[in-house]
Homo-oligomer: A and B are copies of this chain.
Amino acid sequence: MPRPALASPDRILAAAAAEFAERGYAGARVDRIAKRARVNKAMIYYHFRSKQELYRTLLRQTFTHAGEQLQAIAALDLPAGDQVDLAISGLASFVRKHAFFPGIMLREIAEGGVHLDSRTLAALSTVPRAFSAIIENGIAQKQFRPVHPFAAYLSTLAPIVMYHAAGPIRRELASGPLAAASTLQSDAFVQHLQQTARRALARTHS
């Protein structure tokens, strides 16, 4: 019998990621997670205490991972504009690698964070904190005009998450009432966001 590629708890986490992203917390079914992970349902309650604890563990891991990636970019010895470029393309590649991230992120925002405990909230906060650090540093070094760092965070990174989460609905619209939705490729959108960020943050404006 071939060893599974991932150990049981990791397989459960991967299956939970897909299930929670597709259906949301309330819509996710523990039975389906078990089936996707090819484990018995009782194993989920053995490794994790409950559906809620499974969900929180998954989000904590993911937010921590994303935050560390942004912090690494913020620590590079580069012009702030280049750091923003890297933050944008980095988040884009992060969501390509972790396809479940946008769905879960959007849902949890809509839920108002009701499923999150303080540890998970702290993990989540590392993402806007790291991005804000880049912006504030650029302002301090007079490479950027003064903007609210959180405004820059929302207007720059929110569209990436939205773009990827909206993939399925965009494909539905493309075959119907909104053909133009299908002509926007991921790379082109990343470039658009990088250009937009450069222009939004530039100290001079024609």
> Which residues of A line the B interface, CB within 8 A?
21-27, 102-104, 106-113, 116, 118, 121-122, 124-125, 128-129, 132, 147-152, 154-155, 158-159, 162-163, 165-169, 172-173, 176-178, 180-181, 183-184, 188-189, 192-193, 195-196, 199-200, 202, 204-206
Contact = CB atoms under 8 A, between A and B. Distances in A.
B206 A200 contact: no
28 contacts: A22-B112, A24-B107, A25-B27, A26-B27, A109-B162, A109-B165, A109-B166, A109-B169, A110-B110, A110-B165, A112-B168, A113-B168, A116-B172, A125-B178, A132-B180, A147-B192, A148-B188, A150-B184, A151-B189, A152-B192, A158-B162, A159-B159, A196-B200, A199-B199, A199-B200, A199-B205, A200-B200, A206-B206
B106 A180 contact: no
A31 to B, nearest CB: 14
A176 B116 CA distance: 13
A26 to B, nearest CB: 3
Contacts of A150: 180-181, 183-184
Chain copies in the assembly? 2
Contact of A125 (B128, B163, B173, B195): B173
A148 B172 CA distance: 19
Contact of A162 (B27, B103, B162): B162
Main secondary structure of the interface of A (DSSP, over half): helix
B206 A128 contact: no
B151 A184 contact: yes
Nearest to A203: B206
Nearest to A132: B180
Contacts of A112: 22, 167-169, 172
Contacts of A25: 27
Given A107-B107, A149-B180, 12 more contacts: A21-B110, A24-B24, A26-B27, A113-B172, A121-B173, A121-B176, A122-B177, A148-B183, A150-B181, A150-B184, A151-B184, A199-B205
